[in-house]
Amino acid sequence: MSALATISELFAGLGLFFIGVRALSANLVPLMGRRARAAFARALRGRLSCAIGGTIAGAVTQSSTAVSWIVVSFVRAGILTGSVVLLAPVWANVGTALLPLIVALDTSIAAGIVIGLAGFASYFKLVKRESLKHAMEAALGAAMLLFGMHLVALAVGPIRDGLMHLPWWEAALEQPLVLALIGAAFSCIAQSSSVSAAIAVAAMSGGLLDLPAALPLVAGANAAGMINNAVLIPGETTAGRLTFALQVVQKGIGALFLAAVAIFAALYPGPGASVLGWAGGPPDGQLAILFLLAQIVGAAGASLIEEPTRRLMLRLMPVPAVETLAQPAYLMREALNDPAAALDLTLHELGRLSARLPQMLDHIRDEPDLSAPSPAVLRTAGVTLAGAIRAYLASLLDNQPTRPQVATALLLEDAAANASALHEALAELADAHADARAMPAAGRLVEALHALLGTVADHAEDPAADDPEMVLSLLGHRDKLMEDLRLRLSSQEDVGAEAQNALFRMTVLFERIVWLARRLVNDLSQARRATATD
């Protein structure tokens, strides 16, 4: 075989492997479905269940990052609470470490059969259901990655023969630090230490590497997993930061374990070979088992020091005000098994969120309250909390509530959407006020809107405070009033164009805010009546 043919076979194998990894992860995550993810969330009740659930989720998705996003999204929605649940993504790395172990097995025949069957099913359109399509494409992805590794192993043989006895190659094999840097670079490029370990296993099966040379390479790849997780920390919330920080710890402990094994094998070749041979099987299988052990050791170590890691992260990166305001106060996971209680808690959470609406104008009133959070902070927190409420209601619907409870949940979901839109509109109005604040009409609009939203907030927090019909009457249409104001503005020649446009924008936003507030009050009133008769 020519050198070009060998290189093309190697690249083809790597390409199939990478496509297979992506296809497997991309199709297994939706295949789990919302119900499966909710069941996964319910299973995370302690350290042991987090370890088991995280390992299974990592094996299914073949992506600890995907498991991290799922867990963090549940924490943001208030469905999961406590820092212990953040250990699930740590143990997901154990599940992903099964990939090198599978690659160590000769599965090329089975992979070829699966690729053939999937090809026939796709061409003749034998699969109709969406879930079956995801299952077929996930199986095809798994088969492609395994067949890709088979091609890599075949291409490695000629490459090995060509590299043997070359001085620079023999020197590289005797430099553990160089091998570790190569493994780390490949892990950073592939964004996965498991992928790098799987390729190292394939290289060993083809004879390109031996176990003493492969150990530093895999240790470097595992250490680079610390970088892959660390770069995700700054842009995350507290839950996300702690999730990825724990995985940095997990990867670090695992890398130290592999480095210790590599050093021991290098310093004491005889005893080292005896220790490494306890697993039995070929050397590539031993490497896969050692990589799996490194993930288990790392996950166990990260679990033991979870509390100190959390305290250190909070000290280095304190919780910002917007994140504190975005945290649910009433949404409890335990209440999801009792739909009536969950709906009542959601009503309280919506009341708490709606009570902040007047605060969004505190910075731009005639007598501003600068101690209150800024409109931008309140908007971000409000939109995030509204999203958490909607996610909580979606989880509630998975528990098969009664038809009246489903109707109430849909009303509350619409109320959460209206509350989110109100926060967005009020933030826009605050921005427009900056250019129109010199005009007296802008101040009057803000004061009138503050009074209206105060009534809405009182009704949302305490339904006995005001009759909903009275609140709705206060929120009557003001289209004619706003139109008259715009006509007067257009006839004033002494008003600058920028200020005039800003006030025009404020009048449009005023109408939208009143309309959204009416919808919010309507939804809350109907939901309260429904829960009272349930």
Which range of 71-75, 148-152, 249-253 scores highest in mean pLDDT? It is 249-253
* CB distance 449 to 361 below 8 Å: yes
> Last residue of some domain: 316, 350, 371?
316
pLDDT at 92: 94
**Do 305 and 352 belong to one domain?**
no
pLDDT at 245: 94
Tokens of 377: 């902070």
Note the pLDDT tens digit of each residue in 510-533: 888 888 988 998 888 888 888 876
pLDDT exceeds 70 at position 534: no
**Do 135 and 222 belong to one domain?**
yes
pLDDT at 386: 93
Higher model confidence: residue 205 or residue 381? 381
pLDDT exceeds 80 at position 360: yes
> Last residue of some domain: 259, 292, 316?
316
**Do 312 and 438 belong to one domain?**
no
Note the pLDDT tens digit of each residue in 380-399: 999 999 998 998 898 888 77
CA 253 vs CA 1, 250, 266, 294, 297: distances in Å: 43, 5, 20, 8, 7
Higher model confidence: residue 9 or residue 246? 246
Give alpha helix (H) positions in 164-277: 167-173, 176-190, 193-205, 211-230, 238-267, 269-276
- Range name among 268-277, 303-312, 322-331, 485-494 with the lowest pLDDT average: 485-494
Please state the domain count of the chain.
Answer: 2
pLDDT at 401: 87
Would residue 322 count as lying in a domain? Answer: no
Reported as a pLDDT band with limits 50, 70 and 90, residue 221 is: very high
Q: What is the mean pLDDT of the chain?
A: 83
Q: What is the mean pLDDT of residues 221-247?
A: 90
* CB distance 291 to 97 below 8 Å: yes
Please state, as a whole number, how many other Cβ atoms lie within 10 Å of the Cβ of residue 154: 18
Q: What is the mean pLDDT of residues 241-255?
A: 95
pLDDT exceeds 90 at position 244: yes
pLDDT exceeds 70 at position 481: no
**Do 351 and 393 belong to one domain?**
yes
Would residue 323 count as lying in a domain? Answer: no
User: Which residues, other chains included, contact 526 with Cβ-Cβ below 8 Å and sequence gap of 6+?
Assistant: 411
CA 423 vs CA 353, 457, 513, 519, 527: distances in Å: 10, 13, 9, 14, 21
Helix (H, G, I), strand (E, B) or coil at 77: coil
Angle at 204 between CA 116 and CA 186, to 5 degrees: 85
Reported as a pLDDT band with limits 50, 70 and 90, residue 480 is: low
pLDDT at 161: 58
Domain that holds residue 351: 330-533
Instruction: Count the alpha carbons within 13 Å of 185 in the hemisphere toward its beta carbon.
Output: 6
Please state, as a whole number, how many other Cβ atoms lie within 10 Å of the Cβ of residue 252: 18
**Do 334 and 312 belong to one domain?**
no
Q: What is the mean pLDDT of residues 277-290?
A: 80
pLDDT exceeds 70 at position 351: yes
Helix (H, G, I), strand (E, B) or coil at 165: coil
CA 390 vs CA 82, 227, 346, 349, 416: distances in Å: 20, 34, 9, 11, 7
Would residue 441 count as lying in a domain? Answer: yes
pLDDT at 304: 94
pLDDT at 249: 96
Reported as a pLDDT band with limits 50, 70 and 90, residue 500 is: confident
pLDDT exceeds 80 at position 30: no
Instruction: Compute the distance between CA of residue 26 and CA of residue 66 in angstroms, rounded to an integer.
Output: 9
Best CA proximity match to 382, nearest among 334, 430, 342: 430
Would residue 227 count as lying in a domain? Answer: yes
Tokens of 177: 């630090």
Long-range contacts of 362-366, Cβ-Cβ distance < 8 Å, separation of 24 or more = 363/430, 364/430, 364/433, 364/434, 364/437, 364/446, 365/443, 365/446, 365/447, 365/450, 366/443, 366/446, 366/447
Tokens of 266: 């290098």
- Range name among 76-90, 123-137, 461-475 with the lowest pLDDT average: 461-475
pLDDT at 307: 92
**Do 363 and 443 belong to one domain?**
yes
* CB distance 349 to 389 below 8 Å: yes
> Last residue of some domain: 259, 294, 316?
316
Tokens of 103: 């690659």
Would residue 325 count as lying in a domain? Answer: no
Reported as a pLDDT band with limits 50, 70 and 90, residue 308 is: very high
Backbone angles phi, psi at 440, to 5 degrees: -60, -35
**Do 297 and 406 belong to one domain?**
no
User: Which residues, other chains included, contact 438 with Cβ-Cβ below 8 Å and sequence gap of 6+?
Assistant: 499
**Do 309 and 364 belong to one domain?**
no
Note the pLDDT tens digit of each residue in 126-167: 888 877 887 888 888 888 888 887 787 777 667 655 655 556
Instruction: Count the alpha carbons within 13 Å of 350 in the hemisphere toward its beta carbon.
Output: 34
**Do 377 and 482 belong to one domain?**
yes
**Do 223 and 365 belong to one domain?**
no
* CB distance 516 to 418 below 8 Å: yes
DSSP state of 319: P
- Give the total residue count for the chain: 534
* CB distance 460 to 382 below 8 Å: no
Would residue 265 count as lying in a domain? Answer: yes
Instruction: Compute the distance between CA of residue 40 and CA of residue 19 in angstroms, rounded to an integer.
Output: 27
**Do 31 and 122 belong to one domain?**
yes
Would residue 57 count as lying in a domain? Answer: yes
Would residue 301 count as lying in a domain? Answer: yes
CATH number, domain with residue 369: 1.20.58.220
**Do 168 and 275 belong to one domain?**
yes
Higher model confidence: residue 60 or residue 224? 224
pLDDT at 6: 72
pLDDT exceeds 80 at position 107: no
Instruction: Compute the distance between CA of residue 383 and CA of residue 413 in angstroms, rounded to an integer.
Output: 13
pLDDT exceeds 70 at position 59: yes
Reported as a pLDDT band with limits 50, 70 and 90, residue 447 is: confident
Best CA proximity match to 418, nearest among 502, 526, 529: 526
- Range name among 160-164, 276-280, 318-322, 363-367 with the lowest pLDDT average: 160-164
Reported as a pLDDT band with limits 50, 70 and 90, residue 476 is: low
Tokens of 320: 């910002």
pLDDT exceeds 60 at position 372: yes
Long-range contacts of 403-408, Cβ-Cβ distance < 8 Å, separation of 24 or more = 404/530, 404/534, 405/339, 405/340, 405/343, 405/534, 407/530, 408/343, 408/527, 408/530, 408/531, 408/534
pLDDT at 272: 72
Instruction: Compute the distance between CA of residue 120 and CA of residue 118 in angstroms, rounded to an integer.
Output: 6
Provide the sign of the torsion angle of the four alpha carbons 491, 493, 498, 500, taken in this order. Answer: negative
Instruction: Count the alpha carbons within 13 Å of 451 in the hemisphere toward its beta carbon.
Output: 7
Helix (H, G, I), strand (E, B) or coil at 318: coil
Tokens of 191: 């964004």
CA 463 vs CA 109, 350, 433, 475, 525: distances in Å: 68, 12, 32, 16, 8
* CB distance 526 to 459 below 8 Å: no
